[in-house]
Amino acid sequence: MSKKVPLYIDGEFVASKSEQWIPVTNPATQEVIAEAPCATQSEMEAAVASAREAFKTWKEVPVSERARVMMRYQALLKEHHDEIAEILAQETGKTFEDAKGDVWRGIEVVEHAANIPSLLMGETVENVARSIDSYSYTQPLGICAGITPFNFPAMIPLWMFPVAIAAGNTFILKPSEQDPLTPTRLVELFEQAGAPKGVLQVLHGGKDQVDFILDHPEIRALSFVGSVPVAEYIYRRGTENGKRVQAFAGAKNHCVIMPDANKQQVINNLVGSSVGAAGQRCMAISVAVFVGAAKEWIPEVAEAIAKVRPGAWNDENAAYGPVISPQAKERIEKVITEGEQEGAKLLVDGRNYTVEGLPNGNWVGPTVFSGVTPDMNLYKTEIFGPVLSISEVETLDDALEMVNNNPYGNGTSIFTASGAAARKYQHEVEVGQVGINIPIPVPLPFFSFTGWKRSFFGDLHAYGKQAVRFYTETKTVTARWFESDIEATGPNMSIHLK
């Protein structure tokens, strides 16, 4: 019998009374390893009520004590790092090494949240007018929420609730229904770290549960990561209901290769960044743009990617695992077929891939196209699979035009030995996160994750200083204290401070 995933409400793991359950399958075998409930209306209301009550006291807890909870939490996450990674690998299909990276990048955000006292500091100016001082405080919003995707079930929840809670809020987490076991373990460890009852709630489910979060008037802020259509829906419905929303959406990340780049470094980095994690990263390189004579390296790139072999999470020789579901596999293979029909040259074909001993896995082999142009659906679609599209242009300006004309702006990179070319690219490219001789430029948590254009809906981004601003309000105080022997002045009839 498969495991029933519990809800986490009011400081307790509880068995849902739902009549609707979602199977959680191992992508390498199709075995049902757990079932996640669709939380009932009363269960969701209970979570909000608990979060409301906990906020009354949690917001008054000294910021240094909140920081110490995060310090204990990051220590526990490090202690259980490999255990979490194994859970994650089994329910997502990621290789063990990739799963460990997922967990570690989340731990880094928790470490950042442990610095919350300095991040919450306000501003002060003395004597803004005669004997008048102004200063500001950063205060929590209230109940916040997060809706997370399947592809990073440790990192992305840890982007959200540690920062929000450290800032003095309470939080409702709605993890992906496709891999809820990893977030459950994260919450168990958070409880062990000494988090008070009610500061974190976990609800499972589908669209109805998401809509509850979007519509509930007491939930002040919402963070979401997912596809463009859903992100647009989340942002529109959430903001219409008066919520502060950050919605991270799709991507089509380009890597520009100049002819003066180090060829072997280009090949090594393109292999990992394009098909690593089965291409199921919003920062994966899905388009390689070869400039001028660099196009001569394309056959070697295809040859290197063709050698990559997917496999099970515990196969030390596997480069990546299966895609998340049979539906995802079918969609990816359909795009590959359409790419052929559009006239792109299929250099490496990953369709109908099999792994010995695992005939039912959602396997898609490494795939490479050349001759891809911006008018092709192959180029326009966020494939979210191990598929690299290769385009050729004559100049850096041509490459910039291609990248800037793309509706997405999540990440991009350039490989070059020229400081001038790199400077021109980073300055002129209309993309939020830029790598120079680095293929996947995901910033560390003391910066913010800054996708642009249709890759992000909202104003303030995840983690870093922007996340602290997202989860807080600023209160500004203007104060004057009168001394008893100061002669009273007449009324001030203007807005000007005197």
For the record, the structure tokens of 346 come out as 């299929």
Q: Which helix or strand (DSSP H or E) is residue 390 part of?
A: strand 387-393
The 8-class DSSP code of residue 293 comes to G
Residue 144 bears catalytic tag: no
Please name every residue paired with 475 in a beta bridge, in sequence order, or none if there are none: 137
Q: Are strands 253-257 and 433-436 parallel, antiparallel or unpaired?
A: unpaired
Residues 6+ apart with CB under 8 A from 158: 106, 107, 109, 110, 186
Q: Which residue has the tokens 């205060």?
A: 139
Q: Are strands 170-174 and 200-202 parallel, antiparallel or unpaired?
A: parallel
d(CA 311, CA 110): 31
Q: Which amino acid is located at 203 in the chain?
A: L
The 8-class DSSP code of residue 57 comes to H
Task: Give backbone dihedrals phi and psi of 131, rounded to 5 degrees, phi first.
Answer: 65, 20
For the record, the structure tokens of 341 come out as 């029909």
Candidate list 38, 144, 255, 282, residue with the active-site label: 282
C-alpha 462, offset from chain centre: 8
Answer for the pair 432, 273: CB distance below 8 angstroms, yes or no: no
Give the full edge-to-edge strand order of the sheet including 345-348.
345-348, 367-370, 387-393, 285-291, 253-257, 411-415, 433-436
d(CA 426, CA 203): 41
For the record, the structure tokens of 128 come out as 């803004």
Q: CA distances (Å), 104 to each of 87, 111, 169, 261, in order?
A: 14, 11, 24, 30
Answer for the pair 420, 358: CB distance below 8 angstroms, yes or no: no
CB hemisphere CA count around 417 (13 angstroms): 7
d(CA 456, CA 406): 14
d(CA 15, CA 492): 63
For the record, the structure tokens of 434 come out as 């830029």
User: Hey, what long-range contacts does 68-73 have (CB within 8 A, 24 or more apart)?
Assistant: 69/165, 69/166, 69/193, 69/194, 69/195, 70/110, 70/111, 70/113, 70/114, 70/116, 70/162, 70/166, 70/193, 71/114, 72/193, 72/194, 73/110, 73/162, 73/189, 73/190, 73/193, 73/195
Active-site residue set? 282
